[in-house]
Amino acid sequence: MVLSEYKIFSGSSNLPLAEKISKKLGRPLGNIELKKFCDGEIWVKYGENIRGNDVFLIQSTPPPAENLMELLIMIDAAKRASAKRITAVIPYFGYARQDRKDQPRVAITAKLIANLITVAGADRVMTMDLHAAQLQGFFDIPFDHLYGSTVFSGLVTNKDGNTVVVSPDVGGIKMARSYAKRIHADLVVIDKRRPHQNLAEVVNIIGDVENKNVLIVDDLIDTAGTFVGAIQALKDKGAKNIFGAITHPLLSGPAIERIKESQLTKLYVTDSIPLNTVGIEDKVSVVSASSLFAEAIKRTFNNKSISSLFEIDKG
């Protein structure tokens, strides 16, 4: 195979990231026309021949309903245009928080989305830091799960031996452990209870944070209520400087104001979701995931290992 046999196309959700990825790969984004009719219906047309090509479709999901629909139509159009292999590159995979039936009469929406992407015609899915890693099992097609820890590598170190990595809940221990291994730091866990959505109460902090520099790691930050509550609890226990490395910056509702008013030293996020940092530059720094996705796309096309990129992150 030669490199000219693959093409990259972007949906409308995160064109800046798609452009960075294409630049890293040294090839332009493919020509695609995306339109909306007056009633909101989405229309997609590929502006170039993709017959027999590997195509990579880059589309994040927020807002999820509209962007997921656009992705499904892009996949279907590529299938009908006789693309050889279709990879849905979804930097942030929405609905991943709805991965189980945790109360009566609710949907398992993540499974529904997996079914839709597969039925639409995708041959492969690539994403980064799923909220629930087991969601990969909802797919019956190959699934590449990239780790955001490589994007943040080197931003917060433990050269002085005084840094600890904090998991904001028990469910995030595996992710936090991979960060702790990277910087050779101890692991601290916050025990919290969630009385209802977008609200969590810190019950206990397991581990020593007194006079320590703290790195909180998580897959996403939504309204920032949980995040800011964790910052306050850590400060109450004597933590010194508090950093965050959070992959997906949803930053809904009061999130920006909460972060501005918090005792946070610095929050690092990726560009998996477009984010305007005007007014919060002193608190929030965006680190591009384009190099990671570009390398993963290149390896996928060349049938090379992707897991070897993350050997340190396993376990």
Kindly list the catalytic residues. Answer: 192
Round to whole Å and give the CA distance between 166 and 239: 11
Q: Measure the CA–CA gap between 88 and 188, rounded to whole angstroms.
A: 35
Closest by Cα among 309, 17, 303 to 8: 17
Asked if 151 contacts 115 with a C-beta cutoff of 8 angstroms, the reply is no
H-run or E-run covering 291: helix 290-301
Q: What is the distance between the alpha carbons of residues 287 and 198, in angstroms, rounded to a whole number?
A: 25
Buried b (16+ CB within 10 A) or exposed e, 198-231: eebebeebeeebeebbbbbbbbbbbbbbbbbbbb
| 308 within 8 A of 300, measured Cβ to Cβ | no
Residue with tokens 């940092």: 277
* Pairing label, strands 143-146, 42-46: unpaired
Q: Are strands 32-36 and 42-46 parallel, antiparallel or unpaired?
A: antiparallel
Q: Which amino acid, residue 233?
A: A
What's the gap between Cα 76 and its chain centre?
24
- Phi, psi dihedrals of residue 244, rounded to the nearest 5°: -130, 140
Residues 297, 249 contacting (CB under 8 angstroms): no
